[in-house]
Structure 1
Amino acid sequence: MSELHHECGVAAIYHLPSSEPSPLCPEQGPQEISRLLPRMLQDIQNRGQLAAGMTSFSPDRANLLDTMKDVGTVAEVFRLSHRGKSEALMQEYAGRAAIGHVRYATCGREDRNYAQPFERQHIHKHKWFSFCFNGQLANYSSLRAKLLREGEHHLARDTDTEIILHELGRELSTGEPGRDISDIFAKVASQFDGAYSLAFLNARGELLLARDPLGIKPLCYALEGPLFAAASESVALLNLGFEPDSIRSLLPGHLIVVRPEGVKIKQFAPSTRTAHCFFEWIYFANVASTLDERSVYLSRTRLGEELARMEIADNKVPLDRDTIVVPVPDTSKAAADAMAYELGIPSREGLIRNRYSGRSFIEGGRARVAKAASKYTPLREVLEGKRVFLVEDSIVRSTTMKVLLDRIRHLGGAKEIHVRVACPPIVAPCFYGIDMSTIDELFAPKFLDDGLLTEEGQRRMAATLGCDSLRYLPVSSIARAIDLGEDQLCQACITGEYPTEHGQRLYNIALQNMGQSAAQGSRTYEQTTPDPSHLA
């Protein structure tokens, strides 16, 4: 599913006052704990490869907060392949606390101005802050219109991150300097409709982390001795050396404030239900991560078992010595291996991924097709003369799948290709941080009959893609695999039922825009006319 991308990931680290360095990082003193931040960002690099950055805090320099960021991977931005340059950066930005970000753009242009964290300097320390954000606000257009309507405000970027920056700045400028940052954030967040996990660091050395009231976006944290750390995924904390039992998921609608005095967790917004993004387990998260106490790896293996049960019940494709299972690297491997095991046939690496072919997701048109062709190499030694079950996480726009099928058949020599998708069809856009915003760009909707996926619809899909057959998992399989109730997950992109008011409203607009060429090329949430009744 290389044509689908998450918006970003966040990370934070803080060394509380202590006479001894943390046993997890004995080589780093408290004043240089920021050195660990790039390492954490590399562990969540799967969430965004377009840009990276960090802000560190140190009371021992003129720039209490100092931010570095740029377009590129973590290794490129932090010069990790050049020891001298990397060391110089780590010394320049050394601090006892830091926040960091990796980005893929779902809104805004692909340039340095959109890289995060965003820093707002101010003469007053409580108003000088930096923050980074993973997610998307479904009511972005309404918030933007409201902000521009109230006074001589100007927005330099087309992104909800700047909206949050100005709203935080505006709230910090009201009331007394002694107001708690948790109360300030709670008031600002009361306006948000959407998904987010957020890291905030001010010039007082106060760190705040927050997760949206529905828990759509993940956020994990850990505290051992004087070392506190948080990240979008648990793998970043595990690889720092935190014990698995000490890593927790922040509850939806809760925030964490870290100060020299200690760590406090509190609820900032009511959370009557959860709507965890199911795609985190299916595709986005690192397979080594555990989110909300659910293993990503085990969830994907259960999806493979679901595929196997479906195949056994269907009983149409022979399961003989000429039949193999082939995953689309890399995130389909766990599902493919589990499917093959249950069917009693081999799982083979018939596609080899070129990890250095470049970032095809920032390309468009023909360039995207060319990148997809260069990213996967079919192994004829594995595929020739075989009946192949090709297991994929999902089919979104179908660009990559068409290229893969052509290469597997003509270069690999497969005699049959049966595509099995470890996910239901994507039928609706995402307005919570995944880069699919219109219905017309999606593959599946045009093949549905009155909104339903039928055998005939799947046959037409297979013919369009160029495979011998195609099968998707049913919606009910997702909750079973993740071991959460359907009412605890956001499944909007496979059901059209959104967990927030503005998300549902945007879907209605997307339905109205179907087939309209004027709407193509622009995101649905950028086409909305704000409803003043929802701005109070």
Structure 2
Amino acid sequence: MGELYHECGVAAVFHALDEPVSRLAPIPGDVNSVARLVPRMLLDMQNRGQLAAGMASFRPDRQSLIRTHKELGTVAEAFRLNHRNEFEAIMRGADGPAAIGHVRYATCGGDDRYNAQPFERDHGRKAKWFAFAFNGQLANYNELKEELLSKGDYHLKRDTDTEIIMHSLAYELQNEDHQPDWVGVFGRLADRFDGAYNIVLLTAHGELVVARDPYGFRPLCIAEHGPLFGAASESVPLANLGFKNIRSLDPGCLVVASREGVRVERYAPSPRQAHCFFEWIYFANVASTLDDRSVYLSRSELGKELARLEDVPLDAETIVVPVPDTAKAAADAMSFALKIPSVEGLMRNRYVGRTFIEGTADRAAKARLKYTPLPEVLKGKRVLLVEDSIVRSTTMRALVHEIRDRGGAREIHLRVACPPIIAPCYYGIDMSSRDELFATRFIDLPDGGVSEEAQQRMARELGADSLRYLPVDAIARSVTMSPDRLCRACITGRYPTQTGEDLYQIEASSCPPDSASGGRAYERERERVALT
């Protein structure tokens, strides 16, 4: 889609020092080489962030018990994967029997190495020396920031919730002994944190802790193979290492891996689950299975839902064209149901570097760099253009223009495998302002939805012949999950946590979007907190 970005992905591996080396194929014979699995896992989650990548490892026989390596760029850039000698030099310093990793796209904090993860907190006592990585976003960040500063003698160097989590962890560990009560630590944090947070944490004692927030906003998968334990934001990194019996960690639970073994414990109740539906329709690797639901099958069901609603004439000149790559499963299922061909009339250039694209300010120019329409496929056709979602619409405008102008399509009918996005996300997706969203200007239904008439006005603005979104209730059917277990705030305006509701009320208030705060609810809340 080119308009929407995830916040990040996390990974972790742990091998018991006293056990024989595992026989999973990718693992070398030395137990201290287990950490080098992390860059491999992060490669499988590159879809979750391309701004920065990093890892931290534990090794008991080196002076620096925890060592952190992180750089801006893709995983290949950060770990120099295309330069074997440089990669080996990095791994000689970062190898060990336990490690955590992170890929990042910033929804909070600056786009520089300083904010890349993992974060490491040095301390003279090993129980208080730790590194951690975080996937999600704390909705009550400003409240937590003020609370921390009010304790006295605290100073924050970064404007990011990751630093808040680091200091909060350190604060909770101050009265713990050399074997921290992790259930107690994360239980107390759960009482204060509002939002999405998956955390992987490594201590200088060699303990690995993996925790999923009580709502389960973001996916977190775990697996074991003999003495080897692995965790990742998606199932694919674990499956590609050869793990079997991969499962999702229950919301409100944590895993502690140490020399004593691996144990799963509940640290907080989970009376309400709120899995982000966007994981299935857009963010996750199509080969992943999250909370027992296949991403591929979910996207296929979305396509079937689109097919049931289709009403344009279907003849030999009608084709289905997906916007690469996340809309392909939906488009294929739609075309199969309608008995018309699904063709790749829009090709994605996978060899245009991230930095080269990001250096282009104009989104239309970015679209021309990323996508090439094929006139041999499109010319004179009635095109059902399938997209996974429309957020800000600027890339879609460019694509419609390119398909009609360069591709020669006779008609373009936009079919969106998602309902209209009408509300911001405060849990880690890069759409934090109502004013950014294309659909909000067209809301004309009492429940906050967009009528068919409004969708046609939207089509004209985008340069298309027609536009159709899926209804809200199609999401739960496609994911095969009860609506009350999904977070659908961005398509309903109803949030699963109190801070989310409060921020949305601020967002929808009469405060003008061109105020000094920039119009984002986080910033307005910061101004409000500062004045109280």
* 2:57 match: 56
- Please give the residue correspondences for 1:318-357 in structure 2 after superposition, counting only pairs within 5 Å: 318-357=313-352
* 2:460 match: 463
1:182·1:257 contact (CA, 8 Å) conserved in 2?
no
- Paired residue secondary structure (1:239): helix
* 1:169 match: 170
2:28·2:34 contact (CA, 8 Å) conserved in 1?
no
Q: Which amino acid aligns with 1:70?
A: E
Q: Distance in 2 between matches of 1:458 and 1:84?
A: 55
Q: Which amino acid aligns with 1:257?
A: V
* 1:475 match: 472
Residues 484-527 of structure 1, C-alpha deviation per residue, up to 9 Å, x if partnerless?
01101000000000000001100111111575311674532132
Q: Distance in 2 between matches of 1:164 and 1:131?
A: 9
* 2:400 match: 405
TM-score where L is the length of structure 2: 0.96
* 1:290 match: 289
Q: Which amino acid aligns with 1:134?
A: N
Q: Distance in 2 between matches of 1:19 and 1:470?
A: 59
* 2:506 match: 509
Q: 1:233 to 1:391 in 2, by over 3 A?
A: same
Residues 245-273 of structure 1, C-alpha deviation per residue, up to 9 Å, x if partnerless?
x1010000000000011001011111012
* 2:515 match: 518
- Paired residue secondary structure (2:362): helix
1:37·1:100 contact (CA, 8 Å) conserved in 2?
yes
1:6·1:434 contact (CA, 8 Å) conserved in 2?
yes
* 2:482 match: 485
* 2:421 match: 426
1:14·1:98 contact (CA, 8 Å) conserved in 2?
yes
* 2:240 match: 239
- Paired residue secondary structure (2:400): helix
Q: Distance in 1 between matches of 2:234 and 2:220?
A: 6
Report the Cα offset of residue 110 of structure 1.
Answer: 0.3
Q: Distance in 1 between matches of 2:511 and 2:341?
A: 42
Report the Cα offset of residue 126 of structure 1.
Answer: 0.2
* 1:6 match: 6
* 2:450 match: 453
Q: CA RMSD in A?
A: 1.7
Q: Distance in 1 between matches of 2:513 and 2:338?
A: 45
Report the Cα offset of residue 529 of structure 1.
Answer: 4.8
* 2:252 match: 253
Is residue 206 from structure 1 mapped to residue 203 from structure 2 by the alignment? no
Q: 1:513 to 1:267 in 2, by over 3 A?
A: farther
Q: 1:62 to 1:513 in 2, by over 3 A?
A: farther
Report the Cα offset of residue 366 of structure 1.
Answer: 3.9
Q: Distance in 1 between matches of 2:463 and 2:512?
A: 24
Q: Distance in 1 between matches of 2:197 and 2:68?
A: 21
Report the Cα offset of residue 369 of structure 1.
Answer: 3.0
TM-score where L is the length of structure 1: 0.96
1:360·1:372 contact (CA, 8 Å) conserved in 2?
no
Residues 422-472 of structure 1, C-alpha deviation per residue, up to 9 Å, x if partnerless?
000000000000011111100001011142311210111001000000000
Q: Distance in 2 between matches of 1:73 and 1:364?
A: 15
Is residue 385 from structure 1 mapped to residue 380 from structure 2 by the alignment? yes
- Paired residue secondary structure (2:337): helix
Q: Distance in 2 between matches of 1:19 and 1:268?
A: 28
* 1:498 match: 495
Q: Which amino acid aligns with 2:326?
A: T
- Paired residue secondary structure (2:132): strand
* 2:301 match: 302
Percent sequence identity is 62
Q: Distance in 2 between matches of 1:457 and 1:365?
A: 32
Q: Distance in 1 between matches of 2:96 and 2:487?
A: 38
Is residue 439 from structure 1 mapped to residue 434 from structure 2 by the alignment? yes
- Paired residue secondary structure (1:440): helix
Report the Cα offset of residue 6 of structure 1.
Answer: 0.5
- Please give the residue correspondences for 1:47-126 in structure 2 after superposition, counting only pairs within 5 Å: 47-126=48-127
- Please give the residue correspondences for 1:36-47 in structure 2 after superposition, counting only pairs within 5 Å: 36-47=37-48
2:302·2:330 contact (CA, 8 Å) conserved in 1?
yes
Q: 1:276 to 1:19 in 2, by over 3 A?
A: closer
Report the Cα offset of residue 179 of structure 1.
Answer: 3.3
Q: Which amino acid aligns with 2:295?
A: V
2:348·2:371 contact (CA, 8 Å) conserved in 1?
yes
Q: Which amino acid aligns with 1:282?
A: I
How many aligned positions are there?
527
Q: Distance in 1 between matches of 2:364 and 2:108?
A: 22
* 1:373 match: 368
Q: Which amino acid aligns with 1:9?
A: G
Q: 1:281 to 1:328 in 2, by over 3 A?
A: same
- Paired residue secondary structure (1:527): helix
| Stretch moving more, 510-519 or 40-49 | 510-519
| Stretch moving more, 72-81 or 519-528 | 519-528
Q: Distance in 2 between matches of 1:447 and 1:520?
A: 25
Q: Distance in 2 between matches of 1:349 and 1:136?
A: 36
Q: Which amino acid aligns with 2:48?
A: R
Q: Distance in 1 between matches of 2:341 and 2:352?
A: 28
Q: Distance in 2 between matches of 1:32 and 1:176?
A: 30
Report the Cα offset of residue 91 of structure 1.
Answer: 1.1
Q: 1:18 to 1:513 in 2, by over 3 A?
A: farther
- Paired residue secondary structure (2:364): helix
* 1:266 match: 265
Residues 66-110 of structure 1, C-alpha deviation per residue, up to 9 Å, x if partnerless?
000011000000000001111111111111000000000011110
Q: Which runs of 5+ in 1 are unaligned?
A: none
Q: Distance in 1 between matches of 2:400 and 2:259?
A: 56
Q: 1:140 to 1:281 in 2, by over 3 A?
A: same
Q: Which amino acid aligns with 1:64?
A: L
Residues 348-369 of structure 1, C-alpha deviation per residue, up to 9 Å, x if partnerless?
0001101132338984984333
Q: Distance in 2 between matches of 1:515 and 1:122?
A: 46
Q: 1:124 to 1:441 in 2, by over 3 A?
A: same
Q: Distance in 1 between matches of 2:70 and 2:453?
A: 50
Q: Distance in 2 between matches of 1:380 and 1:227?
A: 52
1:440·1:520 contact (CA, 8 Å) conserved in 2?
no
1:440·1:514 contact (CA, 8 Å) conserved in 2?
no
Residues 120-173 of structure 1, C-alpha deviation per residue, up to 9 Å, x if partnerless?
011100000000000000100000011112202111111100000001111111
- Paired residue secondary structure (1:288): coil
1:360·1:368 contact (CA, 8 Å) conserved in 2?
no
Q: Distance in 1 between matches of 2:197 and 2:286?
A: 21
